């Protein structure tokens, strides 16, 4: 086998990579304001240079691991890119590296091996204390990395296939010794971009950034059978400054679920999920939610904006899940411009969610839920309650606001049946139809006029040391906007940090 050069020059690159080099070696990640962040990778190699065979049968575990090991040594000299060409590339789990791009060409499919010998059992996440399926550890994730910086996973709509049916069958038959692994998990990492890919048939959750900062997930498709167990689409977990946009998910569980640890382990670990924006999400999930908050939320969840969400044949739109023993908090959640069809619930807040990691959970640990605002919601063919909102006795969920809501029942719903169920919740409603429950007091003014002005929510979605190029936004290094890295945005003003520029990519509105 020819030793790969890893150099980006005409002599070293194979001929068929020259075009890819010209187009893709400088990847432009488009941010919300139309500007872009350039990531130039100096070293580019193709997987076949390491002996890989894309026939869907030959194991390429060694090729993937050797390629990434080789490229990891080039991080400090301009970064690197591994190109996966068209074909079906069977492989066991592999780790990513920093200052690295994994690029899947058109019709490239990375296929997860079903050889369980390739999936060692590893330690559980510290904020969970045990595997989610059962006590103990968990099987290795398929693609993962820890303590990484500047990682891009992208391509020309290539596919990553987890071959989950193998794992689902074993799970249903109680044949596994540990919790299933995720299709893609990055831990303790920052400045991550996942884009222009399809993720299929994950054994467990699909995309799981945990303990991460500055994450962009855009133009991603996630598909699993709607009866597959726990195949959540995108789960930011104890992570901050996350943007999820223009994604489509068909799933056996929540399309997006924001988490932050489980009971006493999440409380002790204490890393919240914060400053998360979800926009232009399409979801199909008959037994779960388009966007879920929890139920593992013991480290806290705050400052979430979900907008332009469409859900069809889905159990609920935005669901908040928590319970006694979770502790933590859910606050400053803003949901707007939601379109629903064939859903069971429009609004669902659950304060009685069970499941605990072990007997060490504290019944005195009560979650604090406040500052939840929904606006501009239209739902048709609602088969159940418009609102099922259940707080906790002696722990009322407060400051819930609904405005400009229309929910139309399906033809078989009895017009005399209750449309709302509200227990231990307090809030206000403006222009809500059907008329809300007594706990949501009807007002003559929209929620935004009832209290102090909304505060800006800052997002640092690109590395501080990366130059922004293209029109719009802050035209200089984003370090000038470094103020948006603060945890609480009350004193941050984007227009002051970047005068005369919109900087929409760095800001959401609460």
Q: Which domains does the chain have, with CATH numbers?
A: 1-123+137-167+183-238+247-253 (2.160.20.10), 259-451 (2.160.20.10), 457-509 (no CATH)
Residues 6+ apart with CB under 8 A from 291: 254, 255, 256, 257, 258, 278, 281, 283, 306, 309, 317, 318, 319, 335
The pLDDT value recorded for residue 504 is 36
38-93 confidence digits (pLDDT tens): 468 999 999 999 999 999 999 999 999 999 999 999 998 999 999 999 999 999 99
Confidence category of residue 449, pLDDT binned at 50, 70, 90: low
Q: For 295-322, how does the pLDDT look when each residue is reduced to its tens digit (9 = 90+)?
A: 999 999 999 999 999 999 999 999 999 9
Q: How far is the C-alpha of 54 from the C-alpha of 47, rounded, in Å?
A: 10
Q: What is the mean pLDDT of the chain?
A: 85
478 pLDDT band, cuts 50/70/90, is very low
**Is the per-residue pLDDT at 96 higher than 80?**
yes
CA distances from 475 to 193, 201, 470, 509 (A): 21, 41, 8, 22
Whether 313 is a known active-site residue: answer no
Q: Please identify which of the residues 232, 237, 253, 254 carries the catalytic annotation.
A: 253
The CA distance from 363 to 365, in Å, is 5
Digit-coded pLDDT (tens) for 248-297: 999 999 999 999 999 999 999 999 999 999 999 999 999 999 999 999 99
pTM: 0.85
Structure tokens at 208: 């799981």
pLDDT of 207 above 90:
yes
Give residue-wise pLDDT tens across range 211-240: 999 999 999 999 999 999 999 999 999 999
């Amino acid at each position: 086998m020819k030793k790969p050069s890893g150099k980006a020059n005409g002599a070293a690159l194979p001929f068929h990579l020259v075009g890819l080099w010209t187009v893709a070696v400088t990847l432009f990640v488009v941010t919300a304001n139309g500007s872009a962040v350039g990531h130039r990778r100096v070293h580019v190699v193709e997987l076949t240079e390491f002996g890989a065979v894309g026939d869907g049968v030959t194991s390429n575990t060694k090729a993937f691991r050797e390629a990434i090991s080789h490229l990891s040594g080039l991080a400090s000299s301009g970064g690197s890119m591994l190109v996966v060409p068209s074909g079906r590339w069977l492989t066991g789990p592999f780790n990513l590296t920093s200052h690295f791009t994994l690029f899947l060409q058109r019709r490239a499919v990375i296929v997860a091996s079903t050889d369980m010998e390739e999936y060692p059992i590893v330690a559980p996440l510290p904020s969970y204390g045990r595997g989610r399926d059962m006590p103990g550890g968990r099987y290795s994730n398929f693609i993962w990395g820890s303590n990484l910086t500047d990682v891009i996973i992208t391509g020309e709509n290539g596919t990553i296939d987890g071959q989950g049916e193998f794992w689902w069958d074993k799970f249903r038959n109680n044949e596994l010794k540990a919790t299933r692994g995720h299709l893609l998990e990055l831990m303790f990492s920052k400045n991550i971009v996942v884009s222009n890919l399809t993720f299929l048939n994950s054994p467990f959750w699909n995309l799981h950034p945990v303990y991460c900062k500055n994450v962009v997930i855009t133009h991603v498709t996630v598909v699993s059978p709607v009866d597959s167990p726990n195949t959540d689409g995108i789960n930011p977990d104890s992570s901050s400054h996350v943007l999820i946009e223009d994604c489509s998910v068909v799933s056996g569980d929540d399309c997006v679920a924001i988490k932050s640890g489980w009971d006493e382990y999440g409380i002790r670990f204490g890393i919240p999920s914060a400053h998360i924006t979800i926009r232009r999400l399409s979801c199909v999930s008959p037994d779960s939610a388009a966007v879920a908050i929890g139920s593992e939320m013991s480290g806290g969840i705050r400052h979430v904006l979900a907008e332009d969400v469409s859900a069809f044949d889905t159990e609920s739109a935005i669901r908040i899940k928590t319970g006694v023993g979770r502790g933590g908090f859910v606050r400053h959640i803003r949901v707007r411009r939601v379109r629903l069809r064939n859903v069971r619930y429009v609004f669902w807040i659950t304060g009685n969610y069970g499941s605990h990691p072990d007997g060490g959970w504290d019944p005195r640990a009560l979650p604090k839920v406040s500052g939840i605002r929904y606006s501009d919601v239209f739902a048709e063919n609602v088969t159940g309650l418009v609102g099922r909102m259940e707080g906790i006795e002696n722990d009322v969920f407060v400051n819930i606001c609904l405005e400009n809501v229309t929910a139309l029942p399906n033809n078989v719903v009895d017009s005399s049946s209750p449309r709302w169920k509200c227990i231990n919740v307090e809030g206000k409603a403006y222009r809500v139809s059907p008329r809300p429950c007594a706990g949501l007091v009807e007002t003559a003014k929209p929620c935004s006029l009832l209290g102090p002005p909304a505060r800006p929510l800052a997002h640092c979605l690109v590395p501080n040391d990366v130059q922004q190029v293209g029109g719009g936004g802050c035209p200089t290094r984003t370090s000038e906007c470094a103020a948006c890295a603060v945890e609480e945005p009350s004193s941050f003003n984007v227009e002051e940090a970047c005068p005369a520029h919109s900087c929409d990519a760095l800001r959401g509105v609460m």
